[in-house]
Amino acid sequence: MGRVLQPILAGVVLAVVGFASSFAVVLAGLRAVGADQAQATSGLLALCLAMGILGIVLGLRYRMPMSVAWSTPGAALLASIGSDGADHWADHRTDYRAALGAFAVTGLLFVLAGLSDRFSRLLHAIPAPLAGAMLAGVLLPLCLAPVQAVVQFPGPAIPIVVAWAVLFRFARRWAVPGALVVAVTVILLTQPRAEHGGGLWPAVTVEVPAFSVGAVVGIAIPLFIVTMASQNVAGMSMLATYGYHPRLRPILTSTGLATIAVAPFGGHAVNLAAITTALAAGPDAHPDRERRWIASVTGGVVYIVLGLSIGLTVSLIAGSPPLLIETVAGLALLATLGSAVQAAVANEGERDAAVVTFVVTASGIAPFGIGAAFWGLAAGLAFRALLGRRRNPATGAEASSATPSASGSAPEPVSDSAPVHEPVSGLTGKPDISR
């Protein structure tokens, strides 16, 4: 029974963490480009439904833990655009419609990228140690959340951490679900109910998108770049870290079509998830790699439920510090962080470039609105190319740092019975097109 419940509970954690940790950013981003409260809530609902449906369809079709999410970096980009020209966006209803048109163009760009074989080859050429280092850099800030929460909110945070630690010792598979139950209980008992005017069932608003050169250049292209670099690339890397090599084309084309579909309702961008993919693909979701897709499918179902009850959901979560929900995510990802660090530094010849990737990614920088995951990977690849041919310390023979061919085989995986760590087969392996 526990083996069946484990991936289901992991999916519940995945969806709750994915929603609670960033829904406020999405609402702020939509409001910044001219949406009123009802339109922004409608956009949130549309995104939840698209994420849920795609997560279910992709998981069932490919039997891989492919979690789908909204673009949090993209929403932050929208918020920055709105803050730069708040009066302009707030005073003109047509400008909100132009933003919706830009969202639709972003979806079209996703589809075109999915049809490009060159882009797929570039992703599969990323070395495994650098992929592991990027994953570790992405996860580190979130894994620090439990420590920060204990200091900033000791009353509610300490019971969450204690519950996780005790269950981790005596019933490890229940540690994260137990921490989530304690977190929700603490929020219900200690946090005031936030005011939310939308009611339990949000009204769905539909606008006909308008298209303008300014919105395409100022919103669509930056939103496409930010989402591809910060979400899709990182998501593919995390899947490869656990030995999953899905074809890129169906992921990008389906998320692109979903983005086009939700644009009239206020949704900005749907993409392959990064952090929640790690929650579904790691060993805590299920010891058997072939069963972890259940977690992402369950997460899709929960996203739909959260979307349909958006009023109650937002009212509950908005009254609590985001750090409390992030505490549960950080605890859930500690083992994944350990595996990623191990993969990053295991190959001594690649270690220096991997450390550069990790440091830049963990820094959290976002020049031009593009997240640190992209810059970390770019810095690591550049440093790796600069080092050129390196002498293997163990054998004394020279080893090239050139990227392995995308047609090469991935490293041989070890047994899934390992208690914590799993192999990292990087993006250099053959894409699995059989599932």
Cα(72)–Cα(386) distance, rounded to whole angstroms?
33
On whether the CB atoms of residues 301 and 189 are closer than 8 A, the answer is no
Q: Within 10 A of 322 (CB to CB), how many other CB atoms are there?
A: 17
pTM (global) more than 0.85? no
Cα(312)–Cα(422) distance, rounded to whole angstroms?
39
Report the DSSP beta bridge partners of residue 84: none
Q: Which residues contact 225 (CB under 8 A, 6 or more apart)?
A: 370
pLDDT at 218: 83
Evaluate the CA torsion angle 368, 371, 374, 375 in order and state its sign: positive
Pairing of strands 398-399, 390-391: antiparallel
Cα(45)–Cα(51) distance, rounded to whole angstroms?
10
Cα(330)–Cα(346) distance, rounded to whole angstroms?
24
Closest CA to 362 of 133, 189, 170, 209: 133
Cα(381)–Cα(115) distance, rounded to whole angstroms?
25
Structure token digits, residue 180: 């989530």
pLDDT at 193: 54
Give the CA angle between residues 7, 11, 16 to the nearest 5°: 150
Q: Which residues contact 117 (CB under 8 A, 6 or more apart)?
A: none
- DSSP track, 410-425: PPPP--TT-SS-----
The pLDDT tens digits along the chain (435 residues) read 556 788 998 899 889 888 887 887 888 889 888 888 889 889 999 999 999 999 999 999 999 999 999 998 888 888 877 554 444 444 444 589 999 999 999 999 999 999 887 777 776 677 888 888 887 888 888 889 899 999 999 999 999 999 999 999 998 878 888 888 898 888 888 766 554 444 556 678 999 999 988 888 888 988 898 888 778 888 888 888 888 989 889 999 999 999 999 999 999 999 999 888 888 988 888 888 999 999 999 999 999 999 998 877 777 776 677 788 788 878 887 887 888 898 899 999 999 999 999 999 899 887 876 778 788 888 999 999 999 855 445 444 444 444 433 333 333 333 333 333 344 444 434 333 333
- DSSP track, 294-348: HHHHHHHHHHHHHHHTHHHHHHHHHTS-HHHHHHHHHHHTHHHHHHHHHHHHSSG
pLDDT at 4: 74
Cα(188)–Cα(184) distance, rounded to whole angstroms?
6
Cα(354)–Cα(356) distance, rounded to whole angstroms?
5
On whether the CB atoms of residues 202 and 308 are closer than 8 A, the answer is no
Structure token digits, residue 312: 């109650």
What is the per-residue burial (b if ≥16 Cβ within 10 Å, else e) of 184-212?
Answer: bebbeeebeeeebebeeebeebebebbeb
Q: Which residues contact 169 (CB under 8 A, 6 or more apart)?
A: none
Question: What 3-state class would DSSP assign to 25?
Answer: helix
Helix (H) or strand (E) holding 68: strand 68-70
Phi, psi of 391 (to 5 degrees): -85, 125
- DSSP track, 134-197: HHHHHHHHHHTHHHHHHHHSHHHHHHHHHHHHHHHHH-GGGHHHHHHHHHHHHHHHHSPPPP-T
One-letter identity of residue 428: T
75: left (phi over 0), alpha (psi -120 to 50) or beta: alpha
